[in-house]
Amino acid sequence: MLLAPLAGYTDLPFRRQCRKFGCYYAFTPLVEAGSVVYRNPRSSNILLRGDDEPWLGIQILSAKPPLLLEAVERLSDYTYDVIDFNMGCFVPKVVKRGAGAALMEKPDLALRCLDRLVVTAPWPVTAKIRILDTVDPKPTVDVARRLENCGIRALTIHGRHRSQGYSGEVSASIISAVHSELKIPVIANGGVFDRESADELRHRSGCSRLMAARGAIGNPWIFRELADSAADKPAHKEICEVMREHVLEMIEIYGEKAGLRNARKIILAYLVGRGYPRKLRAQVSAIVNRNQFEDFYRLVCQSGICPD
């Protein structure tokens, strides 16, 4: 099981919590090539790799081959295990620039971008795509074959069309068709939130390799669950401790103000769906400094919720 590159989430503190519960393969958050080239201050934390991380890939986004080439040169001071090319981001501002999932409909441009990466990157190159049709596998298979011929080492497929976003059924049959046609490893992605959904995707896609994305947000225990079906769900005390450790490391890396601004969605992710009162969760938006977070943490601990 791999941890997906999630923009705004899978930074070092996020990955460290997932690794505690069995995650080995992980990616940085998605980073735009332009942010690397023009040294956007925010990209330095996105690119950060911990000394304790055993395997880490970086995912990069662009529809401009020269910019990708320059970004790879800027990344030469870093060490990653793979560089993954994003062809699956459906966010409108990305698609309007012809990048992300828009490249699925411009395979010639996508191949020029990938060629720059394959030729120049000091690490193996992989790609992540979305399907082109929810019924007919041929369009997706055709693009996947071209990507394989370009020299990528593995392909991750999100089994939804870009128009679906994160909603609707995952078309595992399309992933299966690609998997049967390619010689390189194919990783199935989409809708993995627990062991049951993971087993279903594995069975329907025929892929032994899966990627967890939103299912890991606020739930690093998913890796423990997928490795051991008999593993207990996290208890109230463990949820509190992991949440606090995650947030404090974000403060350490980003600073108090920025760290807590980024952490509010993380705090909510740990609490939503686990029986914690809405009135308690509503207080998260008011947390702006560490003292307030510690006060809130104590309130959560004292709530005594014990999830089923």
Q: What is the structure's pLDDT at 305?
A: 61
Length of the chain: 308
Q: What are phi and psi of 45, to 5 degrees?
A: -75, -30
Cβ burial 205-224 (10 Å sphere, 16+ → b, else e): bbbebbbbbbbbbbbbbbbb
- Tell me, rounded to whole angstroms, the distance of Cα 179 from its chain centroid: 21
Tell me the pLDDT tens digit for each residue of 200-218: 999 999 999 999 999 999 9
Q: What are phi and psi of 79, to 5 degrees?
A: -125, 120
Domain 236-303 part of CATH 1.10.1200: yes
Mean pLDDT calculated for residue range 51-76: 96
Q: Is residue 59 pLDDT above 90, yes or no?
A: yes
Tell me the pLDDT tens digit for each residue of 167-203: 999 999 999 999 999 999 999 999 999 999 999 999 9
What are the tokens at 229? Answer: 């079906």
Please give the model's pTM, rounded to 2 decimal places.
0.95
Instruction: Let me know if 18 is a catalytic residue.
Output: no
For residue 93, give the amino acid letter: K
Concatenate the DSSP letters of all residues of the chain into one string: -EE---TTT-SHHHHHHHHHTT--BEEPPPEEHHHHHTT-HHHHHHH---TT-S-EEEEEE-S-HHHHHHHHHHGGGS--SEEEEEE----HHHHHTT-GGGGGG-HHHHHHHHHHHHHH-SS-EEEEEE-S-SS--HHHHHHHHHHHHHT-S-EEEESS-GGGTT-S---HHHHHHHHHH-SS-EEEES---SHHHHHHHHHHH--SEEEESGGGTT-TTHHHHHH-TTPPPPPHHHHHHHHHHHHHHHHHHH-HHHHHHHHHHHHHHHHTTTT--HHHHGGGGG--SHHHHHHHHHHHHHH-----
Of the candidates 186, 189, 49, 34, the one whose C-alpha atom is nearest the C-alpha of residue 123 is 49
For residue 117, give the amino acid letter: L
What are the tokens at 52? Answer: 């304790």
Q: How far apart are CA 112 and CA 168, in angstroms?
A: 32
Confidence of residue 308 (pLDDT cuts 50, 70, 90): very low
Q: Is residue 306 pLDDT above 60, yes or no?
A: no
- Identify the CATH assignment for 2-227 out of 1.20.1600.10, 3.40.50.300, 3.20.20.70, 3.20.20.100: 3.20.20.70
Q: How far apart are CA 97 and CA 107, in angstroms?
A: 15
What are the tokens at 75? Answer: 């990344």
Q: Is residue 39 pLDDT above 90, yes or no?
A: no
The 3-state secondary structure of 36-70, one letter per residue: HHCCCHHHHHHHCCCCCCCCEEEEEECCCHHHHHH
Q: What are phi and psi of 129, to 5 degrees?
A: -130, 170
Q: Is residue 307 pLDDT above 70, yes or no?
A: no
Q: What is the structure's pLDDT at 42?
A: 82
Could you say which of 89, 113, 150, 240 is catalytic? 89
Q: What is the structure's pLDDT at 41?
A: 81
The residues spanned by each domain of the chain are: 2-227, 236-303
